Amino acid sequence: MAQDILLLCVDYKNDEETEAFVRAVFAADTASRVFVSVADNSEKSEADWISFATKFCNFGERIIVSACGGNLGYFGGLNFAYQKGLEKFKNQNFLCVVVSNTDIELIGQHFFDRLTEAVSDCEYSNVGVIAPSIRSSITGADQNPFYPYKPSRKKFTLLGKIYSVYTFAVAHRLLANVKKVIHNATHAESKLKRDIYGAHGSFMVFLKRYFGSGLGFNYPEFLFCEEMFVAEQCKQAGLRTVYLPEIEVIHREHSSTGLIPSREIVEYLRRSHEFCRDNYF
């Protein structure tokens, strides 16, 4: 049985963070089973690109770094990394595909051993996506299950309106973090394996059955609400999304977008929520 893992990540103006993340991945990969595909969404000069790509040469043959030629968005970059990874490592039969932010820390010396075992246990259970425990460095809360159940259309309609006004959007994002801290301090988390609707997008594990069902990363929006896209992909294909708290990571939240969103980010928020409202309900 194949035990290799393809890990995808996107760099966007976080070169040092991306390099440190890849270094940590290979350090945790004691069995040499992880292959990494990095998509660079940043617009670099030729000299800067060569300097960036050269940094990854010391990691050996199990990594490919590719320039997107511009910012393709989060899932756009991941899809680019996925295609490049399949081309580069065409002789590998991957057990799963991991999608990760570069601001993720892997927990435990045997992280990939536990992950491989968990994926193998789910392989014949109609599971499309595994959602690990993702601990926020800001709030301390577990960001999974991101969607225990499918949210309402009313929620996405309301959020679309909030994100249409910049001051409302900033207030909403800041208050959401305060709410998470309070909730974490007053509510005990349920650390039980269970089926959920949607996994948090900062670290997702896609099993073979997901791709075998003809699914992928072709989300049409630039940024945000990727969780809804993946959840609906699985739902429409009759696949399960499973929360597995024994797989643990830490998320240094908002390192790429900032605690206070820019007007551009708010516009992406509005568009993505309106897309979900119009297509998934």
pLDDT score for 160: 98
For residue 213, give the amino acid letter: S
pLDDT band of 260, cuts 50, 70, 90: confident
Predicted structure pTM score: 0.94
pLDDT tens digits, 60-91: 999 999 999 999 999 999 999 999 999 999 99
Report the SS3 class of residue 241. Answer: strand
DSSP category for residue 57: G
CA distance 102 to 12: 10
Report the SS3 class of residue 116. Answer: helix
CA distance 242 to 36: 24
Q: Does residue 120 surpass a pLDDT of 70?
A: yes
40, 52 Cβ separation under 8 angstroms: yes
User: Other C-beta atoms within 10 Å of 260: how many?
Assistant: 11
Measuring CA to CA, how many Å separate 199 from each of 75, 93, 194, 207? 15, 24, 12, 13
pLDDT score for 138: 82
**Residue carrying the six token digits 């305060």:** 178
pLDDT score for 33: 97
| Phi, psi torsion values for 81, nearest 5 degrees | -65, -40
Report the SS3 class of residue 96. Answer: strand
Report the SS3 class of residue 38. Answer: strand
pLDDT tens digits, 186-234: 556 678 999 999 999 999 999 999 999 999 999 999 999 999 999 999 9
Q: Does residue 185 surpass a pLDDT of 90?
A: no
Q: Quote the percentage of the chain above a pLDDT of 90.
A: 85
User: What stretch of H or E contains 131?
Assistant: strand 127-136
Which domains are delineated in the chain?
5-150+188-253 (3.90.550.60)
pLDDT: is 29 or 175 the higher one?
29
pLDDT score for 174: 85
pLDDT band of 268, cuts 50, 70, 90: very high
